[in-house]
Amino acid sequence: MSLPRIAVDAMGGDEGVRVMVEGAALARRRHDKFNFLLVGDESRIGQALDAHPNLRGASEILHCTDVVGGDELPSRALRRAKSTSMGLAVNAVKQGEAGAAVSAGNTGALMAMSKIALRTMPGIDRPALAALMPTLEEHDVVMLDLGANTEADARNLVQFAIMGAAYSRIVNGFDCPRVRLLNIGTEEIKGTDALRDAATMLQQATGLALSFDGFVESDKINRGQVDVVVTDGFSGNIALKAIEGTARFVTDLLRNAFTSSLRSKIGFLVSRPATELLKHHLDPNNHNGAVFLGLNGVVVKSHGSATAKGVANAVEVAARLLEDDITNRIAQDLAELGETRLRETNGGKS
């Protein structure tokens, strides 16, 4: 049984057509049920497909030569949504011609186009950008919002928590993910009014498929002690960039240390299995594929500098969300939250 096909913005990202097609081909080799709508310049996509016969028979090309620039303002990109590869990929989801869209292009433009074309789900005020990050444990941690909303009130944060928990249940297989709000301390008195109000709302909610454990500080995000970290897009994006920067700093520090002398080079050879494991764990391509949650459709953002392996992982994220019907899962949890509020209003009566 084939999944609904996945629309790929073949023109987006730093490397464009070559890497996007190669990534789709890799995903297809891993899962032969995947089918694709490749959006972009037909001649360039056709040339790239020559190296991947396994993908050619599972793909249709939607010709388009117009591309959203990496630094293009979302407002300008929106005006060109009907003519760009990114806009046409998202529109394919809207029209039911694809089940999901994957793009490595301009994040702001992709968010704007997706929100306008697909609209937010009933019960969701704002969509959120969620991504997976490595931890010391075997599972990744889901974090949202990572930049879609610079501000968020208590109601938004509760909705983010519900969406993040649904995503964690799919990608990590948890029945009841541990959810925490990012804060400057774990004490109940710490943080903004929005954070404290959101905590109260989550503590009082019953029947949700999540376990709310209060607040978490940024130094504990990757310890494996929490499954979903919830915050506003401003704080979330800063935290994400700090984590990514620290990972690169550690990697560069080790590289410099191991090449500083002959003894260091010998030490590198001895410790190479451990350093290779560290490199694999910190490689962003292994965690590629941020998701716009809360929309009436699946849209996945691949990192602009992702390799073919990273693009394949983003495609697989999209497929998994389709298989497990992320939109319906979120809707069910929102309905449960509504029932909780109704019971509170009626004095606990069902």
Per-residue pLDDT reduced to its tens digit, 122-159: 889 999 999 888 888 888 899 998 888 888 999 999 99
Q: Are residues 132 and 227 in the same domain?
A: yes
Question: Which residue range forms the structural domain that includes residue 49?
Answer: 1-120+294-324
CA-closest candidate to residue 17, choices 38, 2, 35: 38
Q: Are residues 274 and 134 in the same domain?
A: yes
- The region that residue 77 occupies, defined by phi over 0 for left and psi between -120 and 50 for alpha, beta otherwise, is alpha
Q: pTM value?
A: 0.84
Residue 49 structure tokens: 């497909």
Residue 196 structure tokens: 């404290």
* Residue 339 located in a structural domain: no
Helix, coil or strand: residue 131: strand
CA-closest candidate to residue 164, choices 185, 149, 152, 180: 180
Per-residue pLDDT at 87: 94
* Residue 50 located in a structural domain: yes
Residue 60 structure tokens: 């249709």
Q: Are residues 166 and 208 in the same domain?
A: yes
Task: Give the dihedral sign, CA 89/128/71/109.
Answer: positive
Q: Are residues 284 and 146 in the same domain?
A: yes
Tens of pLDDT, residue by residue over 23-34, are: 999 998 888 788
Pairing of strands 128-133, 141-144: antiparallel
Q: Are residues 152 and 190 in the same domain?
A: yes
CATH of the domain at 252: 3.40.718.10
When divided into structural domains, the chain yields a total of 2
DSSP letter at 5 equals: P
* Residue 211 located in a structural domain: yes
Contact, 171 vs 133, CB < 8 A?
A: no
* Residue 336 located in a structural domain: no
Q: Give the model's confidence band at 350: pLDDT under 50 very low, under 70 low, under 90 confident, else very high.
A: very low
* Residue 349 located in a structural domain: no
Helix, coil or strand: residue 225: coil
Number of Cβ within 10 Å of residue 242's Cβ equals 12
Which phi and psi (to 5°) does residue 109 adopt? -65, -40
Q: Are residues 3 and 83 in the same domain?
A: yes
Average of per-residue pLDDT across 200-207 = 86
Q: Are residues 105 and 245 in the same domain?
A: no
Q: Give the model's confidence band at 40: pLDDT under 50 very low, under 70 low, under 90 confident, else very high.
A: very high
Q: Are residues 135 and 85 in the same domain?
A: no
